Amino acid sequence: MKPVPNAATNPSRSLRALGAMAAAALFATACTGGDDDPVPSTTVVVTTTTVPERTGDGTLTLGVYLPLTGAGASFGPALIAGVEGAVGLINDNGGVLGEPIELVSADEGSESIEVLLAEGVDAIVGPASSTVALSGLAPAVDASSGVVTCSPMATARGLDSYPDNQFFFRTAPSDTLQMAAVARIAERTGSPTVAVGYIDDPYGRGLSDAFEGALSGRPLTIVSSAGFSPDQGDLQPTAEELLANDPGVIVVLGDADDGSRLLAALDAETDDPPAIIINDTIRQARQVIQGLSDDFRDVLTGVAPQSNSASGDDEMGFFVPHAIDCVNLIALAAIDAGSDSPVEIRKQMASVSTGGRTCTTFTACSLLLDQDLGIDYNGLSGRVDLSSVTGDPTRAWFETFQFDANGNEVHQDPIEVN
User: Which stretch of 32-36, 95-99, 110-114, 326-330 has the lowest confidence by average pLDDT?
Assistant: 32-36
Q: In the prediction, which pLDDT does 4 show?
A: 35
Question: Residue 160 and residue 392: Cα distance in Å, rounded?
Answer: 8
Q: In the prediction, which pLDDT does 88 show?
A: 98
| Local confidence band at 307 (pLDDT 50, 70, 90 cut-offs) | confident
**pLDDT tops 80 at residue 145:** yes
* Highest mean pLDDT of the ranges 15-29, 53-67, 333-347: 333-347
Question: Residue 279 and residue 182: Cα distance in Å, rounded?
Answer: 8
> Does residue 33 contact residue 47 with C-beta atoms inside 8 Å?
no
Q: In the prediction, which pLDDT does 9 show?
A: 32
Which superfamily, per CATH, for 61-172+314-349+351-383?
A: Response regulator (3.40.50.2300)
Q: In the prediction, which pLDDT does 323 show?
A: 97
User: Which stretch of 27-36, 106-115, 284-293, 310-319 has the lowest confidence by average pLDDT?
Assistant: 27-36
User: Which stretch of 46-50, 67-71, 132-136, 312-316 has the lowest confidence by average pLDDT?
Assistant: 46-50
Q: Hey, what amino acid is at 55? A: T
Q: Is the dihedral of CA 410, 72, 122, 88 positive or negative?
A: negative
Q: Hey, what amino acid is at 251? A: V
Which residues of the chain does CATH 3.40.50.2300 include? 61-172+314-349+351-383, 176-306+396-417
| Local confidence band at 203 (pLDDT 50, 70, 90 cut-offs) | confident
Give the pLDDT mean for 7-21: 36
Q: In the prediction, which pLDDT does 389 show?
A: 95
% of the chain exceeding 70 in pLDDT: 86
Q: pLDDT, tens digit, for every residue of 83-111?
A: 999 999 999 999 999 999 999 999 999 99
Q: In the prediction, which pLDDT does 52 show?
A: 58
| Local confidence band at 54 (pLDDT 50, 70, 90 cut-offs) | low
Nearest to 136 by CA among 76, 195, 67: 67
DSSP string computed for 29-62:
-TT---SSSPPPPS---PPP--PPPP---SS-EE
Q: Are strands 221-228 and 275-278 parallel, antiparallel or unpaired?
A: unpaired
User: In Å, what is the CA distance from 389 to each residue of 19, 108, 321?
Assistant: 24, 27, 23
Q: pLDDT, tens digit, for every residue of 330-386?
A: 999 999 999 999 999 999 999 999 999 999 999 999 999 999 999 999 999 989 999
User: In Å, what is the CA distance from 96 to each residue of 272, 333, 336?
Assistant: 60, 10, 10
Q: For the domain bounded by 176-306+396-417, which CATH number is listed?
A: 3.40.50.2300
Q: In the prediction, which pLDDT does 8 show?
A: 33
Q: In the prediction, which pLDDT does 71 show?
A: 77
| Local confidence band at 288 (pLDDT 50, 70, 90 cut-offs) | very high
Give the pLDDT mean for 188-199: 97
Q: pLDDT, tens digit, for every residue of 158-191?
A: 999 999 999 999 999 999 999 999 999 999 999 9
